A and B are shown apart, each in its own frame.
Chain A
């Protein structure tokens, strides 16, 4: 069938990232700094706001066809919320969407978050540069997996 091979100079589709705050946590300065850095680096950022349920975040990622989900948590309830988020994602058929987590995460919890399926964890003091690089790398991996029928 006729896909139009002539159209090859169209702009590429920018990576789309969900930036979300999970749970009862209204401290969104960090999430906004990240959202802005990603926007400045050329990402399309959907910011879903504070006090989101795991279901709301999973729904947003699925409806937006996001390439990466970035979750910011400063409440201490990261293990609980992230576990629920991963369950919801898998229920909705979105297990292939990579999740990263940032915030006031004690270093002893990093392994547990990774066991739950989190691809990377950003602790206090992390550089914006590395966050943007990691998100870009995960987004590109996901897009390539889609193209190879993954």
Chain B
């Protein structure tokens, strides 16, 4: 019997996409769940299926929520789900948690904190693990966003941990970036460091009922203020909001500013640009993934010959170039029809 991994490569060939899409569009949760699974490896889909889905998408408001572990992202999202439901929006969440670099397994615990509206038909929550993929995480997450957008969810929220490359890819491809932080995680110098304090449209100082909240609020306000030589572009100045998601305070303010931000983008013709940026990111990530796979294949063919030579540092650069060359040949010999 073929191994399951091998057999699953042909998974998308066994699927009746027309039927699956129709059923998902009618709100069948099982079909939506299956469709999202197929988005984990979107480059294996029939190309016309991916285009078909993406052409139905483009209307949703995509919101990225990021910040350090423990800042309260999942709890805040849970409260935002309730608030957006109250405003009549359908809400979908893609929650990303890390995989173990040792076992490849993962404990996906974000859903646990989002059970407030778990029985509401207007809410859909999907957990995704990082799987140590080269760019694969953002590729899977952004492909899932296309599906959820196409299915008519008004708000699609992506939750990520940290500010690595994958998160940057995702945050560049959403409409609104919400950065969640909390008191007690660093002083004014931490707040001034490059990175996370530069990517957000909205900052939430969560757990603002804890000691040190006022100090933290001031540090962050200063870090967010436009310096004389600042690089921030556009008319939207990042906003800082105090909240305590567990207590429910400030959540309505956060939802208001999120809605204000998409109105700003839409009335300035910037919302479409974000969709275009997302598609471009998808294309780049898919191409990278295809190349990476060819490199892996080429490497598997020669690994026994190479291992010793590389270990003895005999021609690391030459071997890399040969590998790249072999990968390109493999790619051009197996182009899709």
Residues of A participating in the B interface, judged by any CB pair closer than 8 Å: 1-14, 35-36, 38-49, 52-53, 55-56, 59-60, 62-65, 92-94, 140, 143-144, 146-147, 149
Contacts and interface: CB of A to CB of B under 8 A. Distances in A.
Contacts of B13: 3
Contact of A14 (B33, B105, B118, B334): B105
Interface stretch (B40-48, B188-196, B276-284, B316-324): B40-48
Interface in B19-72: 28-30, 32-34, 36-37, 40-41, 43-48
A45 B107 contact: yes
Given A12-B4, A13-B8, A6 B103 contact: no
B82 interface: no
B44 to A, nearest CB: 5
B297 interface: yes
Interface string B83-105: 00000000000000001101111
Given A10-B41, A60-B125, A65-B36, 9 more contacts: A7-B41, A9-B300, A12-B8, A14-B104, A14-B131, A42-B103, A44-B129, A56-B119, A63-B125
7 contacts: A6-B297, A9-B296, A49-B113, A62-B33, A63-B32, A63-B125, A147-B7
A41 B105 contact: yes
B34 A65 contact: yes
B109 interface: yes
Nearest to A139: B4
Contacts of B5: 12-13
B127 interface: yes
Chain A, interface SS category: loop
Given A3-B44, A14-B129, A65-B37, A47 B107 contact: yes
A62 B29 contact: yes
Contacts of A147: 7-8, 10-11, 14
A93 to B, nearest CB: 4
A38 B105 contact: yes
Interface of B: 4-14, 28-30, 32-34, 36-37, 40-41, 43-48, 99-100, 102-109, 111-113, 115, 118-119, 124-127, 129, 131-133, 289-290, 293-294, 296-297, 300, 330-331, 334, 336-337
B30 A48 contact: no
Contacts of A65: 33-34, 36-37
Contacts of A60: 111, 118, 125
A36 B103 CA distance: 11
A43 B103 CA distance: 8
B334 A4 contact: yes
A8 to B, nearest CB: 6
Contacts of A6: 290, 293-294, 297, 330-331, 334
A91 to B, nearest CB: 11
Contacts of B131: 11, 14
Contacts of A7: 9, 41, 43-44, 289-290, 293
A30 to B, nearest CB: 15
Contacts of B29: 59, 62-63, 92
